[in-house]
């Protein structure tokens, strides 16, 4: 079966929010790189559903199912401070929290999950926690001081579309290619 690639569905950032967040992170860290392997700003996004390696038939079914879903109209989210999975004292993923609008993201994640299952993907077994990954850390580190030091990121992100991305794994880290847009409110 022909493979489309390693796919996921996410909410993209606007260029304005991307630039403001890059400046916020640089200021908060005194221009030092984040610990671990930072995600480059052009790759920042809020994942709703990771599909993984996907063939053409499953992808077409997923697109049809998501196009059928009642995604609702545009909205906006605001951000919080930093946090970490599984917890700040043993951080392996450093992320930016979502404050207002997290409920709408949860709804969109649930609809993406439904579409994935209708397309034949196995159910996601991890609970959905809306977040924006800033860095991946191996082995884990105690990031409590950093997390406490960084202020809330004051910005409002308009959410008016979902995007299906293809992930290209390369030597310099992954890059993400937009494959499909799902506008909200159409």
Measured CA to CA, the distance from residue 148 to residue 70 in angstroms comes to 39
Q: Rounded to the nearest whole angstrom, what is the least distance from the CB of residue 125 to ligand 2AM in the complex?
A: 10
By rule CB under 6 A, what count of residues binds ligand 2AM? Answer: 6
Binders of ligand 2AM among residues 132 to 161 (CB under 6 A) are: 133
Look at the block and give the residue holding tokens 């494959």: 179
Residue in 169, 161, 178, 162 with CA at minimum distance from that of residue 53: 169
Instruction: For ligand 2AM, give the closer residue by CB, 53 or 185.
Output: 53
Task: Yes or no: say if 105 and 21 are a contact pair by the CB < 8 Å rule.
Answer: no
Residue 167 lies near ligand 2AM (rule: CB under 6 A): yes
Q: Convert residues 67-96 into a mask of x (bound to ligand 2AM by CB under 6 A) and - (unbound).
A: --------------------------x---
Instruction: For ligand 2AM, give the closer residue by CB, 78 or 133.
Output: 133
- Give the start-end residues of each E strand in 30-148: 37-38, 45-55, 75-85, 91-98, 131-141
Determine the distance from the C-alpha atom of residue 69 to the mean position of all C-alpha atoms in its chain, rounded to a whole number: 20
Q: Given the rule CB under 6 A, which residues bind ligand 2AM?
A: 8, 47, 50, 93, 133, 167
């Amino acid at each position: 079966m022909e493979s489309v690639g390693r796919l996921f569905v996410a909410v993209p950032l606007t260029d304005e929010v991307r630039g403001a967040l890059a400046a916020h992170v640089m200021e908060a860290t005194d221009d030092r790189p984040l610990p671990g392997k930072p995600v480059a700003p052009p790759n920042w996004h809020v994942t709703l559903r990771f599909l993984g390696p996907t063939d053409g038939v499953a992808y077409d079914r997923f697109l049809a199912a998501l196009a059928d879903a009642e995604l609702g109209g545009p909205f906006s989210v605001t951000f919080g401070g930093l946090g970490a999975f599984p917890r700040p004292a043993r951080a392996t993923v450093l992320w930016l929290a979502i404050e207002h609008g997290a409920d709408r993201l949860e709804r969109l994640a649930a609809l993406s999950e439904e579409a994935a299952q209708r397309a034949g993907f196995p159910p996601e077994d991890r609970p959905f926690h809306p977040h924006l990954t800033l860095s991946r850390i191996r082995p884990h580190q105690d990031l409590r001081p950093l997390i406490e030091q960084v202020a809330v990121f004051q910005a409002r992100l308009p959410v008016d579309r979902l995007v299906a991305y293809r992930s290209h794994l390369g030597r310099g880290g992954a890059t993400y290619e937009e494959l499909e847009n799902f506008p909200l409110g159409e």
